[in-house]
Amino acid sequence: MRAAVLHEPGTALVVEDVLLDPPGAAEVLVRVAATGVCHSDLHLAEGHLGGRRWPIILGHEGAGVVEAVGADVRHVAPGDHVALCFVPSCRACAFCRAGRFNLCQVAKDAAMTGMLLDGTSRPRLAGDGTPLKQFLCVGCFAERCVVPAAGAVPIPRDLPLWQAALVGCGVVTGFGAVRNVARVRPGDTVCVIGCGGVGLQVLAAAHFEGAGKIIAVDRDAPKLERALLRGATHGVDSTRDNAVKEVLELSEGGVDHAFEVVGRPETIRFAWDVLRPGGSAVVVGLAPRGVEAAVPAIEFLSEKSLKGTYYGSGDPVAEVGSLAELVASGQIDVAGVVSHLTDLDGIEEAFDRLRRGEGARTVAVIDPELAGSPS
């Protein structure tokens, strides 16, 4: 098969021939239809998330069709449509027993090494057989991938796979931050800082939950326009000196919930500064290792809170399926966050757009016949 391989951080992806070993007893072989290009992939490609994970096939936000299953797999069969979940929780570790499935220790340990749950990986370079690692137990910048059984979540067959690809990361992350962490209620005032692929899902989730004012903040005018089309009531240019003041005025003294979806100290501080007393700031954005953020400690007296979240802070395996149902029924629109369509050879160019802060989500269509993507 063909795959986009990262040989070492800071270099360009190389699309080349790769061999793929068959799935183990508790694994699933998926023919990839489409994959989103996420900033998390870029962070690893640039060496921001630590080492020892290359050569590697990136990609973790994908969907496709099951081609084969291991002997112990019962929940999917060849021909089923699936979205990929990058935290295939074990259901047995201390975090899973406590109901914090997104923090599964077994899945985390595998992800940190670029391996599957058994400590091995399935792809190899065709030339010399060098083992390739798989980003977040997935590695779907490829025509096929082998994932742990729990990482293949069945979805409705009438949901186009180019849209389903976004459910397994952006949608789960955005909706989980709103529902599971902030617990936004009807009428709440919300600010979303960063209106890229995930930020637009946060905004859509806030709108879905009935938030009143939804203030979108970004430095890119086209992103703000897209946010206004997806439910934002106001747009604020973050490059203006008075951007914080503008949000405070629009929200009449501060917002109930601010979502930071960038991963930078200055945007985390922005989220904190626009809160009303008692409000909560949720950091959704992924910051590189070593980056620190600071807030005025005395303002904890106003009962503001600063919260983290990872992959929706719920049960991602279950939520991928339920959210896919909502997308298939038309209750959630994911097509509107897609600013660019490309293919396997265009992923490096999509990385360049992410570096420049341009566009929302890029979807790489790996198999046009399966993906059902628009022309």
Structure tokens at 366: 């790996």
User: 358: burial class by Cβ within 10 Å (0-12, 13-18, 19+)?
Assistant: middle
Q: Which residues of the chain have pLDDT under 70?
A: 375
How far apart CA 332 and CA 242 sit, in angstroms, is 33
Burial 155-194 (b: 16+ CB within 10 A, else e): beeebbbbbbbbbbbbbbbbbbbbbbbbebeeebbbbbbb
Mean pLDDT of the chain: 96
| CA distances, 174 to each of 179, 219, 229 (Å) | 9, 20, 17
User: Which one-letter amino acid corresponds to residue 108?
Assistant: K
Please report the pLDDT score of residue 353 as a whole number.
Answer: 95
| Enzyme catalytic residues | 38, 40, 43, 60, 169
Please report the pLDDT score of residue 375 as a whole number.
Answer: 56
Instruction: Give the single-character DSSP code of 171.
Output: I
Whose structure tokens read 């990058």?
86
Please report the pLDDT score of residue 289 as a whole number.
Answer: 86
- In order of their start, the domains of the chain are 2-166+334-371 (3.90.180.10), 175-309 (3.40.50.720)
User: What are the pLDDT digits (tens) for 91-143?
Assistant: 999 999 999 999 999 999 999 999 999 999 999 999 899 999 999 999 999 99
Structure tokens at 183: 């617990």
C-beta contacts of 339-343 below 8 A and 24+ residues apart: 339/222, 339/226, 341/162, 341/365, 341/373, 341/374, 342/37
Helix (H, G, I), strand (E, B) or coil at 212: coil
Please report the pLDDT score of residue 53 as a whole number.
Answer: 85
The candidate with the shortest Cα–Cα distance to 350, out of 38, 20, 52, is 38
Instruction: Give the single-character DSSP code of 59.
Output: -
